[in-house]
Each structure stands twice: as structure tokens, then as C-alpha cells.
Structure 1
Amino acid sequence: MVAFIGREHQLAVLDALFAQVAGAPDTDPRPGQCLLMRGRRRIGKSSLVEAFVDRSGAPAVFFTAAGAADEVELESFIEAVSSSDLPDRAVFDDATPGNWSAALRQLAGILPDDRPSVVVIDEVPYLVDRVDAFEGILQRAWDRELSRKPVLLILVGSDLSMMEALSSYGRPFHQRGKEMILGPLNPAEVGDMLHLPPAEAFDAALVTGGLPLICAGWQPGTDLWQFLSAELANPVSPLLVSAERSLAGEFPESAMARTILSAIGSGERTFTNIARAAGGISHSTLTRATEVLTDKRMVAAELPVALRPSKERRYHVTDPYLRFWLTFIAPHLPEIERLRGDLTLRRIEAGWTSWRGRAVEPLLRESLARLLPDDPLPAAPVIGSYWTRSNSLEIDVVGADRAPVARQLLFLGSVKWLERSAFDNHDLLALQRHRAAVTDEAVPLLAISRSGVQTSGLDASYGPAELLGAWQRSQPNDPSPTELS
């Protein structure tokens, strides 16, 4: 069960929904419950649902769409029902439905009336894309038949924007299901799984992205470099192949989006530099490609958080594992396939400190957001960063009342994430100069340091242990952080 370390909370949420179905009174005309689960590819959605179905002991059908033609998907669905453990599944052998409306209606007819069951439809976005009016078909089947049975219907999808839209206002399935967002294992869960101290847990989270499949290949107690040495010696390791398979699923026909993603992942952050790195593509082509990437939540387009408006938008890859892969792995896959992963490892060692210094910042800002309020710092509705076009002024942490144009700055901070260098007087003076450049107010100052603080004059400071603890204490007994609603 190593893949489910850190997933007990989500399993408990699924158990609770199933209990609602099982405990519905006989007089309830609609005992069924529906859950819409979304999360990135290879995050472990299907494995989580399979684990839940196994431990529920309920009769179930599990169908996974493959992006094939309508009639092929329908045939696969019928086969999935026929090979399930539903008591009356033989009905599908005797009478084969000719369309999706008939198939879902027939499925509802064979679901048990006297005990709960589970129906899973995985990769729903494929059906929405390939089957004409599938959302309306699903809505009618749910309203008229499926919800009248004691069934937990789980709809799973990797296309985040499409799954989010599925239940949005004005769409057929609006307000018909609860929602669960399955994210990666957080740094605390990664640290627990791999038996790592706090600072090393953040390193592991950056390299693995918290993907359970990649974490499962990390022998507990071994360090980052031992892990990378072993994975780079294996051309089919999950660390090497997961990103390629994910990108193939996300962009089967869009080479340009992948080109732009590679440019951003290699470190280019501004529109002009991304266009140049992608071969000098046109403004309109780059705009369309970045819109696709941001819609899929693979890239974030951010503006500085400041008291005055700015047009200095910057882009970064949101998934730290994908960012690591695009920077260090993808350009050198041929040498890894030639079993020269040792060369790649040396390259990672040479560039690691510089890459990590920037890559870790979003994760540390999120950690801080989970930690606050913490005297003397208040909770901040927004925690971002600030920069100028020339990069002559960069502030790693900006807490504000709103973004990107703030009415009030709540605190400013600097990140120094080095093994052997503490935050010192020189760093404090630089932070004070930066504060004077953006505000006349005595805004509180904080430091985030991997190796401690050797100065006075800060209002607050945080190290790996405190920041990792913020993730540990964010695991309450309510549905957060899965965002069940």
C-alpha cells in the first residue's frame, strides 16, 4: 500500500460518501450520490478509486475511456459492464444497447435496489470530446434513473479545465455532484513516505512533484543523489517516463504547446524570451499556446504583487516535477537511453543549487500561506512576489490584501535556500533597500532560510521544519484539502 501513504484522508471522504448511499432511508427517492474527481495525469486518481472500490466490497463497474471513436467507447463500456461483478450483468449480453442513452439506462436497470453499488467512469473528458451531447446524456441518465438507485457514481478526469467546467453554471451536470480535487502528495507526506528530514523532504517534493508512482521508487532513507543515480541508470524508471506519457496525453496533436512548455520549463519566463527560445514564433501563435497551457493549469502566468499596476507578466511551469524533467531530463534522454545517466547526473549536480533556488519559491510561499497567521505576521489573502523588467529589484515574498494591484502590503520577505549559508546582515540590508523601493511604510520583514538566520532586525523567520509543519497541520478531519463541496 506504499502508493497510498498520504491518501487516507481522501479514502475516508470516499467512504463517507458511500456511507451516505448505504444509509439512505428506503423512503428517499434519490439515494444516489455523485462525485466528480479531477487531478493531473499520473497523480494516482484511478489507483485511489480502485483501492476504494476494493475495500468497499460493493458490486461495481469500472470503465476507463480511451479517447477512441464513439462506437468504440460504447463497445468498451458494454464490455466493462459485462465483465463486472454486478449481479444482473448478463442483461448486457442478452440485449446490447445501441447508444449511450440506452447503455446508461440499461445500466441503471441492473444496479441493485437492496444494497449500494459503485459505478466509475474514468477519463470522462474523452467522452465529452468524442460523444455528441454526452453531458446532456449523462445528466438525463442521472436525473431519471441512476440517482434513483443506491449507487455512488464517480466521474474521473485529468483535463482539469474540462472537469471543472462539467459542473459549472449553465452546463447540464451543474450541481449534480460533489467535487474532489486530487493533488500530489504534499512535502510533509513525501517526507513521511521517504523518511526524510524537513529540508530534504522539500528537495524530494521538487524532484518527484509528489507523484506517488515516482515516490514509490525512492528507497526510504536514501538521499536525493542516491535516488537520482539509481533512476538515471534505468531508462524506463517512472522519473524518466512519467512526464513524456503525461504530455502525450495532454497534447496528442499540439506540438506547438509542447514546444512552448519546453521553453518555459528550461527557464525562460518572459513573453519575448519564450518566443525567441521557441524559434521566433509569432505573437499570436505564442498567445494561443500559452492560453492552452494556462487553461490546462500546466503553466501559471503571474504579475508582480505591488501597489501600482505592472505589465511585466512572467510564466512558470506549475508542476515542480515537470519543471525538473524539462530542465534536466528531457534534453538528455538519448544519453540516458545509452546508459550514460552518469553524465546527466553530473549536469544536475552542477545546476542543482541555482535551479532549486527559484523552483522552490512557489512551494515555500504556499507553505507560508498555510502557516499564517503567526505572530507578528497576519494571514494574507495573497502571497506572491515582485519584480521589475530589468530584474534590478526582486522581492521573493510579498503578502498583500489583493493581487496583482494591492491596496495594502502586509509583509515582505526574502528566500535564501542554501545548505551552508545562513540569512545574514547583508541579506537583511538588501531586503530593507527593496522595501524602501516599493513602499514608505514600515512593512514587516521576514526571512525564509534553509540554514538559519544570523542577523537581527527581522520581524519573523522560518526554516524547513516550521514550513513543513504547516503542511502537517493542514490535514484536518474535514474534506480539505481535497476541496470536496
Structure 2
Amino acid sequence: MSVFLDRHRETSMLESRYLGRKAELLVIYGRRRVGKSELIDRFIAREKGIRLLAREESRTLQLRHFSLKLGDYYNDNFLKKTSFADWDSFFEYLLKRTDERFVLSIDEFPYLVKEDPSLPSILQDYWDTHLKDSQIFLILSGSSISMMEESTMDHASPLFGRRTGQILLQPLRFIHILEYLKDMQKAVELYSVFGGTPAYIMSADTNLDIFHNIEEKVLREDAFLFRDVDFVLRSELVEPRYYFSILFSIAQGNHTIGLICNDCGLSKSIVNKYLSILIDLHLVYRRIPVTEGNKSRRGLYFLSDNLFDFWFSFVHPNIESLERGNTRLIVDQFVRPRFSRYVGRHFEAMVMDLFDFFNEHHLLPFVYTRIGSWWYRGEEIDIVSLSDDPPSILFCECKWQDNVDGKKLYAELIKKAGRVSWQNERRREYYCIVARTFSRRPEADEQIICYDLLDLECLAFRLLDN
């Protein structure tokens, strides 16, 4: 099965715009290895076009490279021999080809801008005077989120206001990893470690158990994932040492500003500044209680990518030992004893994703409009979903454990639910317990649902097969 399976929405967007026959200047961006090139290549394969991959080299070599590619595409031997002298000659050549619809994708656009900062203003000029009235379907893409936003979407960019659309390509959802792996427990364990980045999850060997995958694919010094997190961060961040400290602190369980400050020894103003940048880069996200608004002061901070969380939890603290070849030792002494707890902190997010999938098909007690977590003064409920009309609320606890006493957990959940302040006099309450397996379940009732892994798997695949 293709790792491209959940890109139908993005492909549909591209196809719809292509059929519109209007000139397009589309920005597609997202972290490295998230599947941008695959998305563009599959789109171009169905239409007429070419993807030009920029490289970190001089402008002369960049233009020569593009000349050869376009010369091959248009069977233009003269162009292959002469090369473009400058970006003006590149765009002038394109103008001669814009009387018919075709896709031109310039991949890793920031490399070109870094070498020649005048390029956005040159493109602005050609877009305003010629290209916006042509048949061109121009895609600018790149892996550096900050540089893509700065060079194409920032107010200060000459291209501001010229783009006709943008796609921020996100990692795959858990439901699509489950569809790919066909096994709920394996999907939960692998997604907890490798996350939803296609290149990461596809590096896993589905014939090996989770600990062999961790040892062979993440902790070995020659594995590409051993260095990839470090590489991605250093390519995005100017001052990596403070960012690394904050990310490591969050991975160790410090989720409030105060705890991060104390752990890192940094001032609140510095931590706030760096967290804001990490959020903009989609490396960290801020979670607030689902019953509160975005201005809530009780936000908690988490790493956005599971592989980054795993890397900062187990690789970064043991990097020197791993570099000495102690891979098996780290797995046995550090990963195995903590792994169930590590998976548990990601399991509720996977259940939320499954609930979103179930919600689309109206399989929960009501169709919710909001879902998240709730906490207050030491009390916490893993998942709470809400619907305002009529006021309905679902409380859910998730346990990555076997032989869970669902009856006892249900009684505890009812007590905690009474402390949740939201439409208290009018709401209809429902309850849910999710576990790997149960030792006993609550009595069957229209207000209580229990799912073990097999229940979730059967329900998910029933919907996927349809």
C-alpha cells in the first residue's frame, strides 16, 4: 500500500485548480520527508508538467541545471547547449510556453532565494506583467517552513499577495498508518516512535518487533533516523542550543512555562520567545483545556512529532553511549523499562484521531464539534468531546495497559466529570473507557462505551473497507 494514501484531499485541491484554467502561483511547504515531492510528482504524472529541483549551488550552475532539464522536457537542443544567462532569460523562455496549460514546479525554492535574493522581485515582475494572465500552473515548494513563509508569504516579500493558494503538508494521520499496517497494536507502537512522517514510518520493518525496529532503525549510529532530527533542527534554527534545551525539557515531562524555565535555567521571556518560534515551525504545539478558549493561561506544551519526542527522550540523553556502539544496552536498560509509559502518553492522541474518524461516520453517541483534554488542579481527563446543540459531552479515559478494571475506572471517571464546568445544568453526559484489554467492563448502558484494541481495530477496518 502506498504511503500516499491520505493525500487524496491535497490531490483533489490541485486537480480542481488545474481544471480551473486560471494562472496559479501555489505554495506547497512542509517539513523534510513529509511527502511534498511525491505529491507534486504524482500530480504532474497525471497532467503536463515538470518539477525542477533546486540545489545549493551558484546561480550560474542553478540556471545551467534548469536549462538542461527544460531542454530535455521540450526537446530543445539549443537550450541544452546555451543555458540561461540570468533569471530574466529563464522567465522569458517560460513566457513562450504559456499559451497552453502546464505545471512548472520549482522544488526547494529557498535555495534559489538564498543564492539570489532578487529572485522573488524578478518573479513578482513577470507574474504581474505576464504570467498572471497566462495558462501557467506554477508551484513553489520547500522544506524550510520559515524560509518558505519568509520568501513567499511574509508582508515584506515581493511575492506577498501574489500566491493564489498554499498547502502546508502535514504528516500522516494515525488512521492512515493503521490502514497501512493492518494491525492495531503494531500501529500504535510504531506510530508512537516513528510518527506520521512518511519516510520515517516507511523506514520501519513491519516484520520486526518494535524493539528491534528501535534498535536497528533509530538507535544505530549508521541509521538515517539517528541523525535526522538533529539535521532537521539545525537546518531550521539559527540558535540550536537553546531550542535543544527546551525540546529536551518538554520531552522529559516539563509542559508548563515555569517548569521549562526552571529546568533549562532560562528566563521566562527567552523561553516564551523560543517556544513561539517552535510553534510557528510546527515542532511544538500548545494544548489548552477543551472547555476553555485560546486565551486560557493554562496551556501546556508538547512536541508535535513522535519521532522527535522519542529522539529527545531516548537518543539525545544517551548520544555518547550510542556513539560508542552500546545500542543493545540502551534498549535493554533505558527503552524497554520506560516504553509502555512512553507509548501511553501518545495513545490518547491516537484515540482522538480514531474518534475523529468515527465522528465523521456518526458512530459516537453524538456528533461532536470540539475534542481535546481537560485538567484542573491535579485532576485530568484524557479526552473530552463537546457538542453545543444539544449540549452533549463525552468523557474518556485511555489506558495503554492490559487487564484494566473498567468498572473501577468508570466510577472514578464519573467523579472527575462532575468537576468539569461546562453547560452543567443542561448537558447530556456520556462516558468511554479505552484499554488494551479489560479484566472487567462496566454494565452495558447507552451512556457508557468500552473499547479494547480489538474493538477499535474491528470498527476502524469496517469503516475503511467501506
* Length-normalised TM-score, structure 2: 0.82
CA drift of 1:11 comes to 8.3
Correspondence for 1:348: 335
Matched, 1:362 2:349: yes
| Mapping for residues 262-281 of structure 1, pairs under 5 Å | 262-278=248-264, 280-281=265-266
- Note if 1:338 corresponds to 2:320: no
1:400 and 1:169 mapped to 2: Cα distance?
37
Residue 121 (structure 1) shift:
1.7
Indicate the SS of the match to 1:370: helix
Residue aligning to 2:393: 410
Aligned pair partner of 1:199 in 185, 197, 218: 185
Q: Does residue 118 of the first structure (1) align with residue 100 of the second (2)?
A: no
Tell me: CA distance 1:417–1:173, structure 2 relative to 1, closer, same or farther (3 Å): same
Report matched runs for 1:367-446 at 5 Å: 367-372=354-359, 374=362, 377-389=365-377, 391=378, 393-400=379-386, 410-418=393-401, 420-439=402-421, 440-441=424-425, 443-446=429-432
Report the CA distance shift for 1:11/1:52 in structure 2 as closer, same or farther (over 3 A).
farther
Which residue in 1 is equivalent to 2:19? 20
Change (3 A) 1:318 1:17: same
Flag the 1:168–1:245 CA change in 2: closer, same or farther, 3 A: closer
Instruction: Tell me the distance in 2 between the aligned counterparts of 1:460 and 1:129.
Output: 55
Q: Could you say if the C-alpha distance between residues 444 and 14 of structure 1 is closer, same or farther in structure 2, counting changes exceeding 3 Å?
A: closer
Q: Which residue of 2 aligns with 1:75?
A: 60
List aligned pairs for 1:176-187, cutoff 5 A: 176-187=163-174
> Structure 1 residues 10 and 431, CA, compared in 2 at 3 Å: closer, same or farther?
closer
Q: What is the Cα deviation at residue 143 of structure 1? A: 3.8
Letter in 2 for 1:285: I
Please give the secondary structure, in 1, of the residue aligned with 2:340.
Answer: helix
Structure 1 residues 283 and 431 mapped into 2: Cα distance closer, same or farther (>3 Å)? same
Question: 1:345-404 CA distances to partner (integer Å, 9 max, x unpaired)?
Answer: 121111011111112222322321232164552222221111135x2x0111122358xx
The separation in 2 between residues aligned to 1:292 and 1:273, in whole angstroms, is 19
Offset at 1:94? 4.1
AA aligned to 1:400 is L
Secondary structure in 2 aligned to 1:268? coil
Shift of 1:432: 0.8
What is the CA distance between 1:300 and its match in structure 2?
1.0
Report the CA distance shift for 1:14/1:291 in structure 2 as closer, same or farther (over 3 A). Answer: closer
Instruction: For structure 1, list consecutive stretches of 5 or more residues without a partner in the other structure.
Output: 25-29, 477-485
Cross-structure match for 2:50: 60
Report the alpha carbon displacement of residue 19 of structure 1 after superposing the two structures with TM.
6.1
Q: Is the 8 A contact 2:18 2:137 kept in 1?
A: no
Q: For 1:124 and 1:461, locate their aligned partners in 2 and report how far apart those are by CA, in whole Å.
A: 49
From 301, 304, 307, the equivalent of 2:289 is 304
Q: Which stretch shifts more, 78-87 or 294-303?
A: 78-87
Compare 427-436 and 203-212 and name the one that shifted more.
203-212
Aligned runs of 1:132-281 on 2, under 5 Å? 132=117, 134-160=119-145, 163=148, 166=152, 172-174=159-161, 176-193=163-180, 195-231=181-217, 234-278=220-264, 280-281=265-266
For residues 240-261 of structure 1, what are the alpha-carbon distances to aligned partners after superposition, in whole Å with 9 as ceiling and x for unaligned?
2221221121114443222212
Pair 1:325–1:371, CA change in 2 (3 A): same
Distance 1:265 1:125, change over 3 A: farther
- CA shift, 1:323, in A, is 0.8
Q: How high is the TM-score relative to the length of structure 1?
A: 0.80
Residue 286 of structure 1 deviates from its aligned partner by: 0.8
- Cα separation, 1, equivalents of 2:77 and 2:220: 43
Q: Are 1:261 and 1:293, in contact at CA under 8 Å, matched by a contact in 2?
A: no
Render the CA deviation track for 1:447-480: whole Å, top value 9, x for unaligned: 222325611255333444665665995899xxxx
Within 1, Cα distance between the matches of 2:191 and 2:339?
A: 14
Q: Deviations over 1:101-125 (max 9, x none)?
A: x2552342353645x5432222334
Distance change in 2, residues 1:375/1:218 (3 Å): closer
Q: Deviations over 1:15-50 (max 9, x none)?
A: 8369638xx5xxxxx5x4443222222213234434
Q: Which protein has greater RCO, CA pairs closer than 8 Å, 6+ apart?
A: 1
Q: For the structure 1 residues 148 and 12, does the alpha-carbon distance in structure 2 shift closer, same or farther, using more than 3 Å as the test?
A: same
Amino acid at match of 1:417: W
Count of residues in Structure 1 that have an aligned counterpart in Structure 2: 450
Aligned-partner residue type, residue 357 of structure 1:
G
SS at match of 2:437: coil
Matches of 2:166 and 2:336, distance apart in 1:
41
- Whether the 8 Å contact between 1:61 and 1:81 is mirrored in structure 2 is no
The answer to whether structure 1 residue 43 and structure 2 residue 31 are counterparts is no
